[in-house]
Structure 1
């Protein structure tokens, strides 16, 4: 499961000799490679013969690589760890997700949070961003009447800068924004030009009950597919959550009932 930003990730690995037996190595080093290419080498301890661990405090979000190297005997092992962004998008809180899944203990909290984030991505594939987030993106514009931002709906555009110099290209107050489609244009009829960097906020501050309701159904569906064999359950079973037709781009991950609930907030045609 991904780690929260700032949390301590406990890294574990086993050193085995060429015959496969656990052995104590002469030296043991764990190297963590961060997403930006920098590295860290947390202290390593041997908890029992051949079983090593290192505690690494996460500092940046993204995919990290963990490379273990032992000498005496020579051995190596590579793994990965993922670190969430500071505020990972989630339509459902942990409490809401657990309530819908009828979970009372905290044993599965990490997995529930993970699938809740996956659920949010599935909902937003269909509706566009729901959870508000800052976005920066670049557009090369040659005398266009409008620019369509890639992550609609858009709450507000906060800056439009020249990509090469960083200087303001347009005053935000002189631009108009269609929040539903992400269209940015000049209300005076003028054209937009240049290599531009747009900074804006995507998502919604308020959304209707059909969106978290659809998210609950998707979460329930995904959770059930992960629980095949428990108490006789069948992966993906249950008519209430069945999918009769694959959805382009997301296959069978989203039940039809959830799509029906999300339909009023579907992205306008042509909006990515």
Structure 2
């Protein structure tokens, strides 16, 4: 399961002799490589069990980290990895709401529920665009046009714009206007835009409608069922039916959830 940004990760590994037995090493070293390629070397300690080592690493960046253990006397090595969530991962519901919907009365499955909530959010946003408000930056490549399209909608507001064309006109966010539903950007006073542009803007919904929230709960329940048996979610005879796989999502989205999301579904070619 991914760790939260800023949390301490306890790294563990076993030093094995050539015959496979746990062995205390003469030296032990561990290196953590962050997503940006920087490295850290937390101090490893042998635990109460000979040959078993641990080291604590405080996370400072979101993304996938690799862990490399190396021992000498005997020579042994081990490679592992872990993921770190972004500081505010998009989530359509709280952990408490997810636990309540799944009828969980304790916290034993909290880490897994959180991950399924994040997966559910990503699935819903494939249908309706960003739901949880956040800031994105993208490069819009064009030479000249009266309108240019952002890739993510709903687009709440523009917060920054930089002209990437040498000698091109400089714009401010006050010079531009954006259509929330289509993501089309134009000059507020009319005229031609010159690009390419680097645009920073806020996306998502300030109010999440009941049909989107309800669809997310159905998807969460559907995905949670995969823990109860092998294979993909099966076709059934209830609200969790999946008659046909959806492009890019397979059998992850039940029919009832698709129907609930239809009123807010992105038009073809948008998002």
TM-score by length of 1: 0.93
- C-alpha displacement of 1:52: 1.1
Q: Would the aligned equivalents of 1:140 and 1:193 in 2 still touch at CA under 8 Å?
A: no
In structure 1, C-alpha distance between the alignment counterparts of 2:126 and 2:170, rounded to whole Å: 31
- C-alpha displacement of 1:35: 1.0
Show structure 2 runs of 5+ residues with no match.
Answer: none
Show structure 1 runs of 5+ residues with no match.
Answer: none
- C-alpha displacement of 1:185: 1.1
Cα deviations by residue, 1:127-158 (Å, 9 ceiling, x for unpaired) = 10000010011122211121111111100011
| 3-state SS, counterpart of residue 196 of structure 2 | strand
Aligned counterparts, 1:1-12, within 5 A: 1-12=1-12
- C-alpha displacement of 1:21: 1.2
Who is 1:243 aligned against?
Answer: 242
Give the CA RMSD over aligned residues: 1.9
Aligned counterparts, 1:112-123, within 5 A: 112-123=113-124
Who is 1:269 aligned against?
Answer: 268
- C-alpha displacement of 1:211: 0.7
Aligned counterparts, 1:118-137, within 5 A: 118-137=119-138
In structure 1, C-alpha distance between the alignment counterparts of 2:13 and 2:242, rounded to whole Å: 41
* Higher deviation after alignment, 118-127 or 14-23: 14-23
Q: Would the aligned equivalents of 2:14 and 2:52 in 1 still touch at CA under 8 Å?
A: yes
In structure 1, C-alpha distance between the alignment counterparts of 2:202 and 2:96, rounded to whole Å: 27
Who is 2:58 aligned against?
Answer: 57
Q: Would the aligned equivalents of 1:224 and 1:235 in 2 still touch at CA under 8 Å?
A: no
Q: Would the aligned equivalents of 2:63 and 2:85 in 1 still touch at CA under 8 Å?
A: yes
| 3-state SS, counterpart of residue 30 of structure 2 | strand
TM-score by length of 2: 0.94
In structure 1, C-alpha distance between the alignment counterparts of 2:153 and 2:94, rounded to whole Å: 23
| 3-state SS, counterpart of residue 209 of structure 2 | coil
Q: Would the aligned equivalents of 2:233 and 2:252 in 1 still touch at CA under 8 Å?
A: no
In structure 2, C-alpha distance between the alignment counterparts of 1:141 and 1:218, rounded to whole Å: 38
- C-alpha displacement of 1:39: 0.5
Cα deviations by residue, 1:138-191 (Å, 9 ceiling, x for unpaired) = 1222111211111111000111112378x9831222222111111111243311
| 3-state SS, counterpart of residue 36 of structure 2 | coil
In structure 1, C-alpha distance between the alignment counterparts of 2:152 and 2:171, rounded to whole Å: 20
Cα deviations by residue, 1:199-255 (Å, 9 ceiling, x for unpaired) = 1001111121111110111111111102327xxxx9635532121101111111111
In structure 1, C-alpha distance between the alignment counterparts of 2:170 and 2:267, rounded to whole Å: 29
Quick check: 1:252 aligned with 2:225? no
